[in-house]
Amino acid sequence: MKYSIIAIGDELLIGQVIDTNSGYIERYMAPYGWEALLTQVVHDDAEQIRHAIDVAFEQTDCVLMTGGLGPTKDDITKGTLCDYFGGTLVYDNDVARNVEHVMTERHLQVNEYTRTQAMVPSSCRVIQNEVGTAPLMWFERDGKVLVSMPGVPHETQTMLGRAVAPQLLQRFNDGEALAFRTAIITGITESDLAMRLDEYERQLPASLHLAYLPQPGIVRLRLTGNANDAAQLNELIDKQFQSLVEQVGDLVIATEDITLPAILGNHLRERHLTLATAESCTGGNIAHQITTIAGSSDYFLGSVVSYANSVKTGLLGVDPRDIERHGAVSREVVEQMAAGACAAMHADCAIATSGIAGPTGGTKEKPVGTVWMAARCGDKTKSIVRQFAGDRARVIDRATTEAQLLLLRLLVSV
């Protein structure tokens, strides 16, 4: 099933706010075999919104729209959709009660602008917003469907899973079975991986498709299939997925679609090991990612953000003479940071980083983007240095990923 996305908001086009909703919708719907054929970002402008809908309906039968549903005058999506699909704006008592409930839960008063959320087009079917005041609206005409959702990411994500996606899957059910399998790969570039799997892809049955989904440090391989017979499809895709894993077995770090912190957490939990971090240039980002995983308290003890050298020496026990001789960004220092984190927090394992995230601070010997990373488990320590390109945020992000991969490789080897 192919569909279109329309994201509405002036703030998206001037870079004030990043459109995260479109990417989330695509990721959420992909496992069901739904493919976003077209994504458009438009201003809060009635003519642009109408044109975007025309373009979307020319190419797909389903449109998912986000944004422009607030109570203020600059949010014009509701009125524009009423003009497009016909009907008039009418007061919906159920929406009004939902608005009252949400505002009460937030300890806020309902004012004149908030009450206007209860005005909805008579041409739509309302889907009550369980986590916000703006109602979701389902429009249908000539076999085509448009669902308008709020622009607030939390509201869109919650209601997509609870109501919108289930109803869409039922509405556009063509009786075709879908199946997918995911392997997460590291230690190889996307192009080299594609060369390695060239023959494998050539022999794939027509009902199966292999997709490469790269991000810094890892590549997700997603094998997707569709057929009329679900049992036969699952038997076929399992066989082909097993063949895929065998061909890249030395590079596979997971055979399910989970995040790197979750993969690392699973290894730590299985081995009954605890973890601490000592972070300089990553500023606690590794600890942040690790603690996004529910249940990370089973293995994660804490972190020292040792940005200043005095913290490296005072809390982590780094020898100040090594900082003097080799600099804070060095193998000697980062390995002592990892050892110090284990000692200070009584952890079995540790990750440590020290680098130059930029945009200033680099030298000829250690340019901006230079990061030393160390991973320690028991009495074994591994350390690497990397030169990351990009701005400060990208350097921190890449170092965060590589440092976790370093500990993962160490855990697999011990």
Residue 113 clears pLDDT 80, i.e. is over it? no
**pLDDT band at residue 33, thresholds of 50, 70 and 90?**
confident
The pairing of strands 89-91 and 119-121 is antiparallel
Which pLDDT belongs to residue 67?
94
Q: Look at 180-189, 275-284, 296-305, 368-377 and tell me which has the smallest mean pLDDT.
A: 180-189
Neighbour count for residue 124 (Cβ, 10 Å): 22
Residue 9 clears pLDDT 90, i.e. is over it? yes
Residue 390 clears pLDDT 90, i.e. is over it? yes
pTM above 0.75, yes or no: yes
Which pLDDT belongs to residue 293?
96
Average pLDDT of span 85-108: 91
Which pLDDT belongs to residue 177?
78
Residue 351 clears pLDDT 80, i.e. is over it? yes
**pLDDT band at residue 208, thresholds of 50, 70 and 90?**
very high
Which pLDDT belongs to residue 228?
86
Average pLDDT of span 363-373: 96
Distance from C-alpha of 29 to C-alpha of 288, rounded to nearest angstrom: 27
The closest alpha carbon to 261, from 306, 218, 304, 305, belongs to: 218
> Residues 6 or more apart from 346 whose CB is under 8 A from it?
274, 301
The closest alpha carbon to 220, from 210, 235, 234, 207, belongs to: 210
Q: Which strands make up the sheet holding 125-127, listed edge to edge?
A: 35-42, 2-8, 62-66, 144-149, 136-141, 125-127
Q: Mean pLDDT, the chain, as a whole number?
A: 94
Domains of the chain, with CATH numbers? 2-171 (3.40.980.10), 177-254 (3.30.70.2860), 260-413 (3.90.950.20)
Sign of the alpha-carbon torsion through 275, 276, 280, 284: positive
Where is mean pLDDT largest: 7-21, 111-125, 320-334? 320-334
Q: Which strands make up the sheet holding 177-186, listed edge to edge?
A: 208-215, 218-227, 177-186, 252-254
Average pLDDT of span 387-412: 96
Q: Find where tokens 């908030």 sit.
A: 114
